[in-house]
Each structure stands twice: as C-alpha cells, then as structure tokens.
Structure 1
Amino acid sequence: MLFDIDRQGAEHPELWAFLSSLERGTRLRGTVAAIEHFGVFVALDEGPPHPFYAGVGFLTLPELSWVRFESVHDVVAVGQHITCAFLGFDTYQGEARLSLRALQPDPLRAFADGHPPGAVLPGTVTKVVPFGVFVALGGGLEGLVHRDLPGGPEWGTLEPGAGVNVAITEVDCDRRRISLAWH
C-alpha cells in the first residue's frame, strides 16, 4: 500500500511533521527491520513508526556502500543497529531516504589521490567481457582494460582469478571509473 500524500496530514500528522523537520545530512540511528531485493527498511530510533512499512527509513541499494557487493547481506543484516545520513523526505512513500555511504570516505577519491596516471599495480582479473577485462585493484575497486589496447596476456587465456600487472591511464571520480592499460 502506498502512502497517500493527499491524506497524509489528516491520517499521519506526527509522521509527516517528523519527516518534514529533518535536514539533509542529519545522522539518524535505527535498526535494520527488513531487507528486500530493492532496498533496506530501517526502524528509526526517533520518530513515529510507519503505518505500512517495516520502518520509516529506507536505503536504496546504491546508498549502502561505495564498493560493489554481491548481496545486501554482505553489507547489513536484519536486527543490525546502524547510523545513516538523511538524504531527503520521500513524500510519495512517506519515508526518510537514508545513506550509509554518505558517512564513509569515498575509496575512489582516496585511490585517485594516491595513484596518479602511469602508476603500475598488480591486480586480479574479475571478469572478461567482449569489450575488455575488469581487474580488481584492492579495496573493493575495479578498473577496466579495454580489449583494443595492445600488450598484455593473450586474450583467450584470460580467466577470472588470473594475476596481471596494469598501469593506470585515468581515474574519473565523477563517472566512477578507473581506466587501465596492460603493463
């Protein structure tokens, strides 16, 4: 059931007033109430309960972590107490949109600061795709060697788990990409 914005003031004024009073960036604590394939519901320590959902707070999958993960359960667990940043009031669903990653340093920015173009690193092949090879560089970060770049191992011999040496050609923090070349 969706939160009906037309009746919110009359039926749930305490919830609406609480969510309207929050400012972007405010730290909120709560308990992970439910994990769904589309995100995580958080029962906040403060404020009224949600009339329909498991929690007043909600984390979309991209807001869980800066680094890729296979399963939401790799990041949070039901019953876990967490601290999040408030991103905004979703007036359609009547919930607080939250972020875990907003309270963590961006590992890509730290990587860019410590690894200028031309730096050579060891890595591990994670995936071979028609347009290139993804290489794990540590810290949950991956870069891409485009297929049309010369050098490196024979294309047909590359498999996930293989160790390779790569050189950084570009770190684009805005597009969240690390471009690599064979070394």
Structure 2
Amino acid sequence: MEFRNKPDQIQPGDICKGIVTGIMDFGVYVDLGDAEGLIDRLEISWKRQEDVSKILRAGQDVTVQVLDTEVKHGAIRLSLKALIPDPMLEFAQDKLGETIPVRVSRIGPIGVFAEVADGLSGLIFPRLPETDPDDPQRRLQVGDDFLVTVLRVNVYNRQIVLSLT
C-alpha cells in the first residue's frame, strides 16, 4: 500500500489508512506513512475486549479516524470505533420502553447483568425488600433467559437499566 500522511498535515477528524505495526496491552501502533499513530484499546471496538490481538494483527491494513494530533506515548491518537455506528445508540433508538428477551451474563452485588444485544449488557437492580424469597430475580442464574423492559439508556455513561416484566 502506498500512502503518505505528513504529520504536519494530519488534523483531528481526518480519516487515514495505515498498517498495524505493534500490538501492546494498552493499544495498537499504526504506521500512517510519515507519522505513527496509536489506537488506545478502548478505541478499537465498542465491545469490551480483553485481548486486542483477537481483533487486529501486525501487518494488517486499517482505516482510522484521527482523534488528536498532539503526540502522546510517541504517537498521534487514533480510533477504529469512531468509524463504526455506536450499537448503544442504535439500541436506545430501537428498544427504549420495549419488552425484550435477554440472557443473564453475570450476577453481582449491585444486581443482575443481562446481555441485551451483541456486546451490550443491561442491569436489573435488586428489588426491595431483599428478604422476599418469592422474588423471581433472586432465583436467576447465569445463562437464564427471560423478558425485561428497557427502562433507561444513558449513551454517555454507557448504562442500560432494565426491569423484570
């Protein structure tokens, strides 16, 4: 691939092509031609990823958006996910107020987390009183399928609040 992105000509918001040159725990280095960029691990995908190497590999061609041209960690800040529609925004537009099927993904001290869409989880807060043995929420187990109502979606804080139906 023949490309040249001059560092002094790259601006925030620019879309650039590059080649992945290194994969680290904190992100991925990208050769932009005459400049080097860094995609922070949180800017790779909307989904939570523990292992960046499952998504990208050294030598892979990528198209990225420039977030900031101020050099940090020796590189320009880049994003892959900025070029992909936000699945939470789409979920909010389509599902807010709706009753939907979900699957329990984990149970924590603050409530039950359920997968509402690929890569998105919502939270069902515990009901009061907590001592009610007949509360169906107390019987939920990881992997259980059931119906919930989508009460609130906060795209900025990345939170989805659910209620058992």
Q: TM-score, normalised by structure 2?
A: 0.85
RMSD: 2.1
Q: Which residue of 2 aligns with 1:153?
A: 136
Instruction: Give the structure with the larger strand fraction.
Output: 2
Instruction: Give the structure with the larger helix fraction.
Output: 1
The residue type equivalent to 1:175 in the other structure is: N
Task: Specify whether residues 154 and 30 from structure 1 end up closer, same or farther in structure 2 by C-alpha distance, changes over 3 A only.
Answer: same
Residue 91 (structure 2) pairs with residue 111 (structure 1):
yes
Which runs of structure 2 are paired with 1:126-137 in the superposition (5 Å)?
126-137=105-116
The residue type equivalent to 2:124 in the other structure is: V
Residue 92 of structure 1: how far off its partner (Å):
4.4
CA–CA separation in structure 2 for the residues paired with 1:149 and 1:74: 41
The residue type equivalent to 2:22 in the other structure is: A
Q: Which residue of 1 aligns with 2:59?
A: 79
CA–CA separation in structure 2 for the residues paired with 1:93 and 1:69: 21
- Tell whether the 8 Å contact from 2:16 to 2:63 is kept in structure 1 after alignment: yes
- Tell whether the 8 Å contact from 2:124 to 2:163 is kept in structure 1 after alignment: yes
The residue type equivalent to 1:71 in the other structure is: D
Task: Work out the number of aligned pairs and report it.
Answer: 157
Q: Identity of aligned pairs, percent?
A: 33
Which structure 2 residue ranges, 5 or more long, are not aligned?
A: none
Which structure 1 residue ranges, 5 or more long, are not aligned?
A: 1-16, 49-55
Per-residue CA shift, 1:135-179, capped at 9, x if unaligned? 001221110101236886352x43322212111110111211110
Q: TM-score, normalised by structure 1?
A: 0.77
CA–CA separation in structure 1 for the residues paired with 2:127 and 2:21: 47
Query: Residue 34 of structure 2: which of 2, 25, 47 is its match?
Result: 47
Residue 124 of structure 1: how far off its partner (Å):
0.9
CA–CA separation in structure 2 for the residues paired with 1:96 and 1:35: 15
Task: Specify whether residues 78 and 153 from structure 1 end up closer, same or farther in structure 2 by C-alpha distance, changes over 3 A only.
Answer: farther
Query: Residue 169 of structure 1: which of 115, 130, 151 is its match?
Result: 151
Q: Which residue of 2 aligns with 1:141?
A: 120
